[in-house]
Chains A and B, each alone.
Chain A
Amino acid sequence: MKAPPFQYHRPQTREELGTLLSSLENAKILAGGQSLMPMMNLRVLAPDHLIDINRIPGLAGIRETPEGIEIGAMTRQADILSSDVVKARLPLLSRALEHVGHIQTRARGTIGGSCCHLDPSAEQPAMCAILDAEFIVTRPDGHRIVPASEWFEGLLQSALGEQEFLEAIRIKPWAKGHGYGFAEYARRHGDFAIAGGAALIEASKDGRITRAALLSFGIEASPRRLSDAEAALIDQPIGKLDLEPAVAAARALDAMEDVHVTPDYRRHLAGVLIRRALNEACTTLERQP
């Protein structure tokens, strides 16, 4: 089908964007359009106003700052995937992006768009959650920083207010040589994941875990950190990890039901995938000499 009629706006500056957001009712921001356009073509959404932010300078790009790596909201997935900085310092994000769509959708799709849309099975917001990203939000009176723990308000619902827009995502990289693992299950490569898991670890010189993060996504309405299982990993020796607390935590989540799978099967997948992710994190960890 075709998108229903709308008024098209193409602000050239953040100020123009701010004015539009403050004055228009039932408006949607058009970033890469790889979720919004299908929803409009299918007439799931019918905004009266479409605000195309593709021409606002400075919203795209990857910068290393003292506070972390800042990825502009309009940075295309293809550009994040080919970034040497991201490959070297945020390898988990690179690894996850290989599973996001296809070359045509990654050429347009943006990290900010995905993080504002918040599909429960989307990889990019999930990676923001496990990496404790900070969302830099521009609002009429300046900026505010929203931690990942407060960004996810529910199914397709972020903490972004109506007059606000996402400026950038800031991520503090883990220590050099940290272990990272990612696993997801989808019917075909590049499809929306039915379930997924991710793990990050750091270890001491004698091979004991000093820091861990675990996450399941596609299971509940928002990506879910497995905090108790993270704590249970601390001090455990690599190679003899007790994976059961992580698996049990993933299997205890309040899994969604949809046309593809039952909640039981989704919980089963959550357990399998967190185990795979954690095992992979152990193999990618660079052991200190």
Chain B
Amino acid sequence: MTERSLTFTLNGQPREAKVDPRVHLGDFLRHSLGLTGTHIGCEHGVCGACTVIVDGSPVRSCLMLAVQIDDCTVETVESLGKPGDLSPLQQAFAANHGLQCGFCTPGMLMTLEAFLRTTPAPTEEDVRIAISGNICRCTGYQGIVQATLDTASTKANRT
């Protein structure tokens, strides 16, 4: 199949790439760009592990073709923090045991990162609804919900 050229912004940097149209965004990020922070779970849109942010909205990267991000802005979990310099949400996940095996974590983080931008003061129910499309088999969600609420209230107290 004919490869298509695309230009996009990835984690703040302008990028250019060529891609086979049948490659979904998640595979493109992992295999073509080497950004393996994004995890691929079910590949049919039910687990949420592959969530990334495109033009400000959280999307399932297994249900979007890489060719569709032409002219778009993409954010992956690599944009949040680095080892030793975690983002506030990542720190709260660590402090609240919001992860165990870590497979769902990048999708949880990117979903909640986008969610907190539009809902800076959520209730517990808001958070639970926000992550209803992300499956975690380890934590029972309690730590994830608490981490999100802590992040929101810490930010509110600072400002």
Contacts and interface: CB of A to CB of B under 8 A. Distances in A.
Interface of A: 1-8, 10, 30, 33-34, 37-38, 41-42, 50, 52, 54, 78, 101-105, 107-108, 188-190
Contact of A5 (B22, B59, B67, B129): B22
Given A8-B65, A108-B64, A101 B21 contact: no
B71 to A, nearest CB: 9
Contacts of B58: 103-104, 107
A104 B1 contact: no
Contacts of A190: 132-133
Contacts of B65: 8, 30, 33, 37, 52
Contact of B60 (A4, A5, A104): A104
A41 B23 CA distance: 10
Interface of B: 1-2, 4, 21-24, 27, 43-45, 48, 51, 57-60, 62-65, 67-68, 111, 114-115, 129-130, 132-134
B43 to A, nearest CB: 5
A217 B100 CA distance: 40
Contacts of A102: 48, 132-134
16 contacts: A4-B22, A5-B22, A7-B21, A8-B1, A8-B67, A41-B43, A41-B62, A50-B21, A52-B67, A54-B68, A78-B57, A103-B130, A104-B111, A104-B133, A108-B60, A190-B132
Nearest to B135: A188
B22 A104 contact: no
Contacts, number: 86
Contacts of A10: 67
B64 A33 contact: yes
A190 to B, nearest CB: 5
Nearest to B23: A2
A164 B64 CA distance: 24
Contact of A101 (B4, B44, B133): B133
B74 to A, nearest CB: 13
Between A34, A104, A189, the greatest number of chain B beta carbons within 10 A of the residue's beta carbon is seen for: A104
